[in-house]
Chain A
């Protein structure tokens, strides 16, 4: 499968069926993400694909050889948690897969022009302890 992924998507880790890591790149010239690679962590429950996987961006230190940061985006919190309806219980569908999620995130980044974090980022990062899929995001903004 890793040989045939769409451009800008690479498999980093998939030894087991609980956690995968993928690298994604934005392919156009959006200055916010130019020449950057971002690392995604997928956590699958034993109910996948009936339930969505938990997906978040993760940071990697310079020392790992593959430094990765959290992309700036009004729907991505600075701890890597992503506000995307696709990843919540309501927007998820079992026909989605790792590849389709990666492509959705690529396009979510590509389409963004705002160099900012979500409103209330600091507070959310400091206090959130809920499972990602249980967070009741309000998906009011269809433009991003």
Chain B
């Protein structure tokens, strides 16, 4: 495996006796980004994705990526249970994987020491996949197979690991958070005192419910969490003039430079980032979101290099260059350049400039600059060679 160790992957389980955890881990990952669910939300068709992933999908296509049912971002609902599953799994993952990997290595070492029993390497996997996964049975078998003391040691650690996560009274899913002494809701340390006022004002609203145990506390807290940040509503970009849109962006406190299409894309991305953040248990600050928007700007927005429609780059010479998209995204540029050229050259030469506007860069191939620029790409492109 040349995968860097900091990138986790469900297939890491496959090499270990706990190979059945691979599908479990896959189920805890978003089908779009393949990462663990981050602020999972559920669609009207009951599929779960990261909030930001499904928002980006819906603003691109308006359909659920899993089943193609039409859906709207307004109908997305948080899926806290999944978030808790992911948090708990991620907390347990390093130690379980470590334990399981060590067990696998140990089995290999023993195999080298005792090459008689060929079944051993296969046995754990077979056990796990073909019969019901009963670790006890496998353990009994392996104990029977390898009575070495090392093996006993490894086996004996199994209950220990489980105990670690179950018996801990102060179960803390997120680092750096402390529990409210009254309702057990997890929060930043500095937020506890102001939070306590809530209980003073309405002491009966949050009675400690110990019957569920400390593990249930986070969910209760989530339900009670204060007023969420206000969501940004969607805009119908087609009815909004460029200047109005530009103003909207500056009102939101995000960059407002670039052509209208870029303003539109930036607003959509900001809306998605913002509204996904509203689904978060621990919302990020606006500054962090602005940093994320800045990353978007550099990778997919106006500062992106490579095949972005907003950026002048050498991709116009590629054979797969999309002239239609180019001409629409640069429509304003073309118009402005034509206007400038007309102004300079005067009425006499105007007809000529119409057929040869100066493009933003030396891309052309006169055919692209012809007035029929808005017609179908088939007729326009002839950039062969």
User: Hey, which bits of chain A sit against chain B, CB under 8 A?
Assistant: 1, 3-4, 45-47, 49-51, 54, 93-95, 97, 129-132, 134
Contact = CB atoms under 8 A, between A and B. Distances in A.
B3 A1 contact: yes
Contacts of A134: 322, 324, 377
Nearest to B57: A94
Contacts of B329: none
Interface in B306-323: 306-308, 319-322
Given A49-B32, A131-B322, A94 B381 contact: no
B35 to A, nearest CB: 12
Interface in B1-30: 1, 3, 9, 11, 14-15
B60 A50 contact: yes
A95 B11 CA distance: 18
B11 A4 contact: yes
Contact of B320 (A51, A93, A94, A129): A129
Name the prevailing secondary structure of the B interface residues. loop
B96 to A, nearest CB: 19
B92 interface: no
B60 A131 contact: no
Interface residues of B, number: 34
Contacts of B14: 3-4
Contacts of B300: 46-47
Given A46-B304, A129-B382, A130-B377, 20 more contacts: A1-B3, A1-B9, A3-B1, A3-B11, A3-B15, A49-B32, A50-B56, A54-B320, A93-B65, A94-B65, A95-B31, A95-B65, A97-B34, A129-B320, A129-B383, A130-B322, A130-B378, A131-B321, A132-B320, A134-B322
Interface in B68-86: 68
Interface string B239-274: 000000000000000000000000000000000000
B383 A95 contact: no
Contacts of A131: 320-322
Contacts of B306: 46
A1 B11 contact: yes
B381 to A, nearest CB: 5
B257 to A, nearest CB: 20
Contacts of A4: 11, 14
Contact of A50 (B3, B57, B68, B322): B57
B328 interface: no
Given A4-B11, A46-B306, A95 B299 contact: no
8 contacts: A3-B14, A46-B300, A46-B307, A95-B32, A129-B319, A131-B320, A131-B321, A134-B377
Contacts of A94: 31-32, 53, 57, 65
A54 B307 CA distance: 13
A41 to B, nearest CB: 12
B183 to A, nearest CB: 38
A95 B57 CA distance: 10
B299 A130 contact: no
A49 B66 CA distance: 13
A94 B57 CA distance: 8
B117 interface: no
A130 B11 contact: no
A16 to B, nearest CB: 12
